[in-house]
Structures are given as structure tokens and as C-alpha cells.
Amino acid sequence: MQETRSIKHSAENANDRELPNTEADTADAADSLFAPRYRGLSLGAVALVALVAFEALAVTTAMPTVARALDGLPLYALAFGGTLAASVVGMVAAGRWADARGPAAPLRHGIAWFALGLILAGLAPSMLALIAGRVVQGFGGGLISVALYVVVGRVYPVALRVKVFVAFAAAWAVPAVVGPAISGAIVEHLGWRWVFLSVPVVALVAAWLVLPSLRGLGPSAPHEATHSAGQQRTRLLWALLTTASLLALHYGGQQRGWPALAWLLPAIALLGWAASRLLPVGALRAARGLPAVVSLRGIAAGGFFLSEAYIPLLLSQERGLSPTWAGLVLTLGAIGWSTGSWYRGRSSDTRAPQRFLQVGMAMLAIGVIAIAALIWPHTPLALGVAGWVLSGLGMGLIYPTLSVLMLELSPPEQQGVNSSALHLGDAIYTATALAVGGSLFAALLGRSHTLAYLCGFAIAFALALLGLMLAARVRVEAA
């Protein structure tokens, strides 16, 4: 889920990012993305983004049916959290790999691992096997998200890069609108396994379009890459430790008594230690300036995607909606997000950016309350749907604002590193929220379905309130 969204959100901050200068910068600025020299690459890259977007929302829609079919409801959150955890390793590994060998190798492997994970999940005989496939898929998704970003900087001239990311954003928007409904229809008429098994075929076609265009793209800066190899290996080790800690946190939450503590306490300690090495100094305590920007991005993502993961389950299991109709609610949330982003990008409001963050976090909090109210059968369905649209609108205000702030607070030579930190923060915070929420959900499910859902939404609401309180910290106080 979230590891795939890093491609979409790259489009929100990439327009101003200083990408590496290449020979492509001398190309004719009047060229179209679909000029002969770029046509195959552009079509393939946009197809990959659309596929990743479709998969993210389609799997969220199908997962309640999957969990029931495989008798894996207690592991529901891990099916999302495991993917996010593995994406951290993919994101970190792809950066060093692309520097050392060029973007073609990590992109090729990313597509292969992504497709393999989907096949494993689609053929899974048990929930644990499906989660293993989702972990493989997450690693591939992390590789793809970073490799595509590097491809844009290495192949396209400066004049076309903005158009590329606009195309990526459009490629995300269409599946966001139709993906959940299509997924619901597939689940109802063909079976949930085809939600996973249908995507790899199209991914191979996209790879056939993209990869030939990348031949000859070698290392961008061999000496610099060699000089930083030791540092990158260290970051990869921290990423592996972060992933292992997140998986241990999920697993420990399924245990009871002393075994639970034996897993949870070390997992929490190691997660905090490893994440602090991957994120900017002070991010975990939301220190003023850039650390607060990274932290708020993760806090908002954690609250929103924790709620989104449980909405189809709540609507199908407690309110009796079909997968198609439950998926349509996610579609409306995605439309709300796109609308909020559109407004934020075109707003001439000169208010301080923290005001947009505060309004967005308040919308997220109110929306979570409204969707949580659907736990009670007498609550009108329209109230919850309106609340989720409101949450989407809030996220549409939050994400572009934080992206712009990241660029403002970053020296040009650190914009790439700090952009990566935003995506890593998304994955780490969201995976942690899913681990905690999923653990409480599994523990309380046997006692009360109502209480189990309420705990998850309460965590999301608390994150939104925390973001509201921390919003003012994105600005550094004047000396």
C-alpha cells in the first residue's frame, strides 16, 4: 500500500527538485513525452505507476475477503504492514544500486520481485503464505519507486521532467477512481486470487516497454558512488534492522503474556534505534524544522492508512456491503485527496503553511470519527462516507504542504536525501501504526468486534490530534 504511494507523492515535490545534470538536459525542450525517443519509456513508466496504484487500492478492497477465505483475520494488519516494512529495504537498496550500476538493474529486479510477490500471494494456501508474498512484493515496490525517480533524472531533459511527474500523478488518479470498483467486481465474479494474478501479466508488458530504453545508462558518478559505498551499506543494514523490527512488532502483537513482552520490548527498542539512523536527526521527537516535517508526514500517513486498511473490513463484515460497494468508499476518499491537492496547488492563500497543516489534520481527525461511527448499525452510511471524503481532503492539504516545506528547508545538495526521508518516514510510521493497531485488533477481536475496531480508529484519531498539535513546529523560530 504505502510503499507504492511513494511514486505518487514524488510528483508533489519533484517539480522543484534539483535532479542530476545529464546529456538529456541538452535535448530539445519542445519534445513531447511521447516523441519517438521517449515513447516506449514514457508509456511503460506510466503503465508501471498505474499498475502499482491499482494494486495498492485493489488489494485493500479485496483483503477482507482474502482474510476470511484463508482464516487469517488476526493477521489482517500484517498483510499490509509486512509490505511496508519490506519496502524500506527496497528503497534504501535501490539508491545505492542505481548509483553504482545505473537505474536499469534495480528497476528490472524491482518489477521481477513485485510480480513474483503477487504470484505467490495469488497462489497462497494460507494467510502466512500470502503475507510472505506481500513481503516479496513490498521489496520489489520499494526498488521500483526509487529506480523510476532516478530514470526521470537520467533520461528526460529538464523541460520534460515536470510533465513526467504530472503524468505519474494522472496515472495514479485513474486507478484510484476505478481500481476499488474493478477489484470488487473481480472478487465477486472471478475470485480474490485474480486480484493478485492479473497484475503480473501487465507488469511484464510495461517492463518490455521500459527496459530497452535504459540500455547504456551506467553509473551517474562512479567515484562518488564508490566513496559513499560504505555509508550506503550501513544504511542498508539499518533498513534491514528496521524491517526485522517491524515484522517482530507485528508478530509479538499476536502473542499473549510473557512471550508477547519478549517480542515487543526488543522490537520497539530496535525499531526506534534503527529508524533514528535512517531519518533526519530529531525526526522521532518532531524537532523544529525539517525533522518536524518528516515526522508530520509519517504521522498523517499512519492515521490515514491505518483507517483505510480497516474500512473495507468494517463495511463488508459489519455493515454487509459487497466488495464492490466497499471499494467505492475508498474511491471517494481518493477523489477527496485529489481534490484537496488540486486546491492546495492552486490556492493563492498566503497564510502560513502550518495553517494548512492544522486544517488538514483537523479534517483527518473529524473524518476518522465519522467513519468509526459506522461500527454502530444505526449510524447512517452517508455520514461515514462523507467523513472519509473529508479525511481525503485533509490529506490533500497536508501532503503538498509538507513537500514544499521539505524543499524550502533543504539545501539543494540535500533535497534528494530529504525527499527519500519523507518516503521512508511514510513507510516506517504507517507500518508501526498498523502493527500496534493490528495487535490490539487481534487481541480484542475475540471479546468484542466493536472494541477491536474502535481501538484501531482511536489510534488513527490520536495520530491526527498529535499532528494538529505539532503542526506549528514545521517553522524554525527566528533567532
Per-chain mean pLDDT for the chain: 80
pLDDT at 459: 95
Q: What is the pLDDT of residue 2?
A: 47
205-237 confidence digits (pLDDT tens): 877 877 776 766 655 555 444 446 667 778 888
More confident residue, 5 or 293: 293
Tell me what the mean pLDDT of segment 121-132 comes to: 92
- Note the pLDDT of residue 157: 76
pLDDT at 226: 46
CA distance 310 to 433: 12
Note the pLDDT tens digit of each residue in 451-461.
989 999 999 99
pTM equals 0.76
Question: How wide is the angle at C-alpha 256 spanned by C-alphas 274 and 270, nearest 5°?
Answer: 10
Mean pLDDT of the region 366-372 = 95
> Pick from 472, 296, 288: which is nearest to 398 by CA?
296
Would you state the pLDDT for residue 463? 96
Residue 260 banded pLDDT, cuts 50, 70, 90:
confident
Distance in angstroms (rounded) separating the CA atoms of residues 425 and 84: 11
Examine the pLDDT at 340 and tell me if it is beyond 80. yes
Give the pLDDT confidence score for residue 19 in this predicted structure. 41
Model confidence at 249, pLDDT cuts 50, 70, 90, reads: confident
Higher pLDDT, 22 or 442: 442
Report the distance separating Cα 440 and Cα 313, nearest Å.
16
pLDDT in tens, 458-472: 999 999 999 999 998
Highest mean pLDDT pick, 62-66, 332-336, 369-373, 429-433: 369-373
Of 394 and 34, the structure prediction assigns the larger pLDDT to: 394
| Structural domains of the chain, ranges and CATH numbers in brackets | 1-227 (1.20.1250.20), 279-479 (1.20.1250.20)
Q: Residues 70-96: what's their mean pLDDT?
A: 82
